[in-house]
Structures are given as structure tokens and as C-alpha cells.
Amino acid sequence: MTRWENYLLSAEHIVHAYDGALPLHHFLKTFFRERPKMGSRDRRWVSQLVYAFYRLGHLWKAGMPVPERILLGQFLCATQEDELLAFFRPEWNEKAGLPVTEKLALVSRNGQPPTMEGIFPFVSELSEGIAPQEFVPSFFTQPRLFIRVRKNKQDAIAALLQQTGVAFEWQAPDVLSLPNGTKTETIIPQRDWYEVQDASSRQTGRLFQPGPGQRWWDCCAASGGKSLLLLDQEPGVQLTVSDIRPSILHNLQQRFAAAGIHRYESRVLDLAQPVPPSIFGRQLFDGIILDAPCSGSGTWGRTPENLYFFRQEQIAVFQALQRRIAANVIPLLKPGGTLIYITCSVFRQENEAVVQHLCESTGLQRQAGGIIPGYMHGADTMFANVLVKP
């Protein structure tokens, strides 16, 4: 058996064994750890084939055998000819460098060409401003790695990248676009010079506009990317961070320490429940960042397994949670204060519909924001709105 056949067989084994319960990259780590004879090249090829399978989304999910689906995904994801395609599908390999849309036009099953809805069955659920004919094909392209430069270190970081031969582009004056997998921690040893942060996530910060001495609450803070963005804009902010997960707040503390941030309050809170009066007393906030739990559909280019396993009825579950959390934090907003509502979802029900509900049910007034499409330049797609309390 050739190594290409072994790679395809291993990828097929993984697809049959994987159920989506864990992030795919965690599952792959366990799989390879149990097979120490597989070298780095073997692991790289097998991982690539598995991800190619899931990048097809729901396309011919039920009727196409797994090995065929893996090879189709590899063809659509390829940017140039490769040895594996040359072995299994030489007729495809010759066309591997074509744009994705042209390659999609070359394939069919039982006489039926692929459709955008076949790959992404939730097209009708997309938020306004997302173009399906551009968004859906983006799943076949590996997203980029983005870093946000801090402390005006643009020239110093660019020099380090040039010395190591890493190709980069400036996505914004303080945002660098790098090939995915770039080992930034070894190239840029000064950890407080930058933060790994998606370009679209960085754009949400344009809506913050904090003032010195103001009290802000990042209420679903996760690892603290939005909080760091806020503090870099206005170091004089009095910051409170919270999350339901103590472990993720521990990660936030480590990240803040590496960035040189030490003045903030941290709380473990389940905001699906009303906030106990004893937590904040009579204190209110000038600004609340609600980076709400969501489907994460705007990031599925990085985690295509989530597209494969996602069910449409899950959208309503996330929407209900978002409404509940927002209803519990809005009473802690000062009159005239701002709620920054953020998701990394592409679904209207999680985005515009939630904002409309909050305006109708609480009297908040929508001020600015909308979809932040990232799929044209290898970034996530996000949604952010500023809502003001009268």
C-alpha cells in the first residue's frame, strides 16, 4: 500500500470515529499521540485531508462515500498541484490551481452540480450584508492568522518578520495578516508587543469609545481580547471582567499579565441568571461589552467540523440565551451608557433580530454597527452594534 493510500485510509478512519463532541484539533492530537510511528509529514497530510472533508460542509453528505468526499474536499481546497491528487485524481490535479468557483463548476454528482445551499444549508438565515456567493466558497480557503500590534511596535515587528522570511500584509495600521500557523511566539519574543486577534474582532473596538475614569464591564470576557482592546484605547478605564468559566478567567489573568495589565476586577458569573444585587451593589456601568455566546458560525472557516455537525434548530437556542443574558446585564447600565452587542455569528436571528428585540423590550436605541464581513481577506465574520440607554 502506498503512503497516499495510507493517508486516505487514516483520514477515513478519523472521520468515522469523530462525532464532533470535541474540537477537531483536540481529537487529532489524541489520535496522533496514540500512533507515535506517524511522523510530522504523515500527521500534516492526514490532518489536511480530514479538514478538507469537513470544509465541504453538508455537500453530498449523505450519498457520497467518505473517501470520495475527502478527495473532493482536497481538490477544492488545493491551491496548486499535489502528489496525492496526482495519484488518485490526475484529471483534478491538473486543475488544482483554479479558483474555487471554477473548480466547483467542474464537479457534479448524479448529474447535479454543487450549490451554495448544498454546502451551507443555512443561506436563508444569513444576516443582511453577507453575500452567499462569496461567503460559502470561503470555506475552502484556510483563514489567515492576525495579530494586533501594541505600543506602536509596527516597525520593530515588521523587521523581525522580514528577518525570518515570513510573508505578511498590513490589514489595518495596527493589524498584520500572516500565514496560518506562523509561530509568532518564537519570532516576536516580546509578548507585550502584540495580541493574536482576528481582524474583524479588532474592528469591533472602533465602536467602544471609552472615556478616562469610566466604568466598563466585559461581561462574557472569555480570554479577554476585547478587554485588552478597550484598555489599549483608554488605559484609565475602570474595568470589570466576568465569565461563567473559572478556567477561562485563569487564562485571561495569564494573558493580562503577559500584556502588562494588572488593574481590573474579575468575577465568575452565570449571566443566564439575574445578577445578585450583592455583586455590584448600586454601581452602574458607563459601558458594557456583551460578546455573546453564539453559534460561532462566522468562525467556521477555522473550525469547519462545526458546520458539518450544526443543526438549524440550534440557532433559536443561542438566540434565547443571548436575549436572556442581555436582559440580565442591561439594568446595570447607566442612563446614557452604551451596550456593545457582539457575536461571531453570520445568522440574522443571533444578530439583527436580537438587537431589534432589545430595542423593543428595553428601550435601548441602536446607534451604529452591523455585519463585519471578513471572508474576503481570510478573517472571521462578526456582528457588532452600539445600543444606548436613554
- Give catalytic residues, as residue numbers: 344
Q: How far apart are CA 126 and CA 305, in angstroms?
A: 19
Strand 194-196 versus strand 145-149 pairing type:
antiparallel
Question: Phi/psi of residue 196, each to 5°?
Answer: -75, 115
User: Which H or E element spans position 357?
Assistant: helix 352-362
Question: Phi/psi of residue 242, each to 5°?
Answer: -150, 155
Q: DSSP letter for 55, please.
A: H
Question: Is the distance from CB of 81 to CB of 96 less than 8 angstroms?
Answer: yes
CA dihedral 142, 143, 147, 148 (to 10 degrees): 170
Determine whether the annotation assigns residue 218 to a binding site.
no
- What single letter denotes the amino acid at residue 6? N
- What single letter denotes the amino acid at residue 342? I
Determine whether the annotation assigns residue 291 to a binding site.
yes
Determine whether the annotation assigns residue 243 to a binding site.
yes
- What cell does 247 get? 478556567
CB proximity list for 382: less than 8 A, separation 6 or greater: 198, 200, 201, 203, 204, 298, 342, 343, 344, 371, 372, 374
Give whole-number Cα distances, 176 to 183, 348, 381, in Å.
14, 29, 17
List binding-site positions for S-adenosyl-L-methionine: 243, 270, 291
